[in-house]
Structure 1
Amino acid sequence: MNKTFKIYGVVFIVSMVIVALFEVNKKEVVDWRKNFDVNKKSPFGLFIFNKESKDLFKGNIKKIDVSPYNYYSENKNKNTGKKNILVIESKLDAESWYKILDQAKSGSNVMIIGSDIPKKISDSIGFYNSHNSFEDKNSLQFTDYKFLNDSINLDKFPSGVGFTYIKPKVEVLGKTVEKDNDDQANFIKVSFGKGNIFVHSEPLFLTNYYLLKPQNLKYTQNVFSYLDDSETLWFTEANTQESRWALRFWLSHPPLKYAWWVLLGGLVLFIVFNAKRKQRIVPIIEPLKNTSADFVKSIGNLYLQEGDFHDMMAKKAQYFLNKIRIDLLIDTKSLDADFAKKLHLKTGKSLEIIEEAIVLIKKGQDPYASVVKEDLSRMNRLLDDIFK
């Protein structure tokens, strides 16, 4: 194990220990941001409202994830008839607001819950200039006598938003009550063309934190009771847009986020330690040359020059019989008719070829036999043919 590898190992182990310590000692942090996101389970997200919206609107609700301008521009012939339109704390462009007002003129009821409405639009509806108080607690109440007991108490970061000026013929449906301030309207109704527009300036009552309290559910139901039983179109575009950054998923989960930073740290350390390293020249090593063919050729030339055909026949016969003993398991002590028959059965060659080969083998084994070149050539062909 070289020194560099040891350094990498130590750095990696130390990094993992540090990450583990951070993970063990970290405190759970509650996200109190007012995000009004239908996918967030944080206190001021709309996750619960999103899940309960079907029951609240009796299944007659449709979520739209594009802007009102795009939706009504692309569905000009499909949106005739009276509908309810719901917008919750959405930052819509002016053209989208005008599309919503056109629907109200045609007879639809519009419910706007939020404070971020362009001044030109709020002026056309019938109110302007919102007011912010700095009380830590307040109460949302209805002005309708039948709902007086269904108030909701806001004890966490109330915005205190209300309407400081309301035009004539605008009906006040609810108000914000504070201990040290005068009551101010927060829920109004405006007749607009053939339809109605409802505006509520405090969307906190729809968030997870307040809907988890059973006593607050009645207030939410009463707010939406002002809408009729028509289909409700809920424009959620501004609340459902998520980052399209490729690392959004990784960085949104703490364990994956830590793994990502450890990986980046490891890459930086690798670059630092290897920045000045140069690759050594790799020497070219020639592979060993196969000299077997040259050796065989040399031996062959030697025998050819000596002309000792008898010795070559003896060695060929010895090699052949050894191969028969090992591969075919035939005893070669006696080269008789029994040997010829066994060799015939196991090789499938004719007895004539085998008997002729045996004669030549015996001739090669006889030190006093007279051998010529043709005998060696004939025996070599016969023995090779038997083992094909």
Structure 2
Amino acid sequence: MNKTFKIYAFIFIIIMVILALFEVNKTEVTDWRKNFDVNEKSPFGLFVFNREVKGLFKDNLKKIDIAPYDYYGKNKKKPHNIVVVENEIDQESWNNIMDEVSKGSDAMLIVSKVPNNISDKIGYYSSQASFAESSVLKLTDKKYQNDFIKLDKFPSGIGFSYVKTDVEILGKTMDEENPDHANFIKAKYGKGNIYVHCEPLFLTNYYLLKPGNIKYAQNVFSYLPDRETLWFVESNTKESGSFMRFILSKPALKYAWWLLLGGLILFIFFNAKRKQRIVPIVEPLRNTSVDFVKSIGNLYLQEGDFHDMMAKKAHYFLNRIRIDLLIDTQNMDEEFIKKLHLKTGKTTEVISEAVELMKKGLDPYASVMKEDLARMNRLLDDILK
């Protein structure tokens, strides 16, 4: 074990000890966020409701952890109950729920906000909020008059600002600002009914654990008929099956885990920087074009076919003249020589000699020699410079 590693290990241990001391002396802070998570034991989680909900529905409840759009696309159901508790649902899924209700199902929506197109269909306008510090939830049915629930921690105070005459008011919120404010309604839709309760706090751990409050929840759900009930739960509320679940669920272990990972990353970074592997020497790519030209040249040299080489050189030269200088090469006469002289600046004697050699190379019956090929090659290269 080298000296550097010992230093890193010592620093890591010191940091861990300091964090442990901070964790031991840290006071527990209550999480008052309204998370409505079925696995959360915080005051506004749904852990208690999730544990007791099967009893409320006489074991006739089924939790669905996929969106209604996906579920109803794969399952055809007879009339049933639908429960939604403060769940982010997409518009297509809402349309599926409304379609099931129109066929005879009943939906219990315990949500603080419902899409406007849904509220328009069932007959109430957007909700309004009260800012009172406490409120009381009561049902309008006389047989439930003694079963109420007092919200003394962060009530939303949400209620319906306007309800149509054909919508039945089942419950109200009473506080200092609004002594008679509807918050639980029933609306007929097709062959079924939609129930909307706009204060989901009464189902959270904080209120269900208080004596007598469970009775109010039982009364609310008693409006649903005794049949199969589907509770659509957000998929991200499912309990993780990862082996890291326990570590990440404990703040102290979670911080220690991230600190360990951070320390390992730093160690690997600094250690790799000191011990970088040897950079291999990469040979540059060879120019195979030169090798190819040499091979073709050697082939023609061995064959001794100077006539064919002169013809190919002449064709290549004339093609360049047509493309680069825009000169017609069909007739290599005096006019051609004059134009080439004007555009290249070469003497007419040099161009004339080159033209004669090209004609010789292009004549299949002419007799050529090695010296003719060499001379024509020099002249044509000189003209194109």
Q: Same fold (TM over 0.5)?
A: yes
Q: How many residues align structurally?
A: 278
Residues 57 and 244 from structure 1, CA distance in 2 versus in 1: closer, same or farther, beyond 3 angstroms? Answer: closer
Q: Does 1:207 align with 2:200?
A: no
- How far apart, in 1, do the equivalents of 2:277 and 2:156 lie? 68
Give, as a single letter, the amino acid of the residue that structure 2 aligns with 1:58. Answer: K
Query: Deviations along 1:135-167, whole A, 9 cap, x unmatched?
Result: 111000111111111110001111111100111
- How far apart, in 1, do the equivalents of 2:88 and 2:106 lie? 20
Residue of structure 2 in register with 1:191 after alignment: 188
Unaligned stretches of 5+ residues in structure 1: 282-388
CA contact (8 A) 2:137 2:171 kept: yes
Residues 5 and 193 from structure 1, CA distance in 2 versus in 1: closer, same or farther, beyond 3 angstroms? Answer: closer
Q: Does 1:161 align with 2:171?
A: no
Q: Does 1:147 align with 2:147?
A: no
How far the C-alpha of 1:193 sits from its partner, in A, is: 1.3
- How far apart, in 2, do the equivalents of 1:276 and 1:110 lie? 62
Give, as a single letter, the amino acid of the residue that structure 2 aligns with 1:61. Answer: L
Residue of structure 2 in register with 1:339 after alignment: none
CA contact (8 A) 1:90 1:116 kept: no
Superposition pairs for residues 340-379 of structure 1, below 5 Å?
none
Residue of structure 2 in register with 1:134 after alignment: 131
Give, as a single letter, the amino acid of the residue that structure 2 aligns with 1:139. Answer: V
Query: Deviations along 1:69-99, whole A, 9 cap, x unmatched?
Result: 11111113xx12x211111111111111111
Residues 57 and 114 from structure 1, CA distance in 2 versus in 1: closer, same or farther, beyond 3 angstroms? Answer: same
- How far apart, in 2, do the equivalents of 1:278 and 1:101 lie? 65
How far the C-alpha of 1:189 sits from its partner, in A, is: 0.6
SS in 1 for 2:188: strand
Residue of structure 2 in register with 1:42 after alignment: 42
Q: Does 1:222 align with 2:219?
A: yes
Q: In the alignment, which of 162, 166, 170 is matched to residue 167 of structure 2? A: 170
Superposition pairs for residues 192-271 of structure 1, below 5 Å?
192-237=189-234, 240=237, 250-271=247-268
Query: Deviations along 1:152-183, whole A, 9 cap, x unmatched?
Result: 00011111111001112001010000023342
Give, as a single letter, the amino acid of the residue that structure 1 aligns with 2:264. Answer: L
Q: Does 1:63 align with 2:63?
A: yes
Aligned-pair identity (%): 65
- How far apart, in 1, do the equivalents of 2:235 and 2:152 lie? 26
- How far apart, in 2, do the equivalents of 1:120 and 1:167 lie? 15
SS in 1 for 2:177: coil
CA contact (8 A) 2:169 2:182 kept: yes
CA contact (8 A) 2:16 2:256 kept: no
Give, as a single letter, the amino acid of the residue that structure 2 aligns with 1:177. Answer: M
Residue of structure 1 in register with 2:25 after alignment: 25
CA contact (8 A) 1:139 1:153 kept: yes
- How far apart, in 1, do the equivalents of 2:72 and 2:99 lie? 10
Deviates more, 1:243-252 or 1:199-208: 243-252
SS in 1 for 2:253: helix
How far the C-alpha of 1:121 sits from its partner, in A, is: 1.1
Output the TM-score relative to the length of structure 1.
Answer: 0.66
CA contact (8 A) 1:113 1:200 kept: yes
How far the C-alpha of 1:48 sits from its partner, in A, is: 0.9
- How far apart, in 2, do the equivalents of 1:4 and 1:274 lie? 9
Give, as a single letter, the amino acid of the residue that structure 1 aligns with 2:208. Answer: L
SS in 2 for 1:165: coil
Cα RMSD for the two superposed structures: 2.5
Q: In the alignment, which of 122, 125, 129 is matched to residue 125 of structure 1? A: 122
Output the TM-score relative to the length of structure 2.
Answer: 0.67
Superposition pairs for residues 72-83 of structure 1, below 5 Å?
72-76=72-76, 79-80=77-78, 82-83=79-80
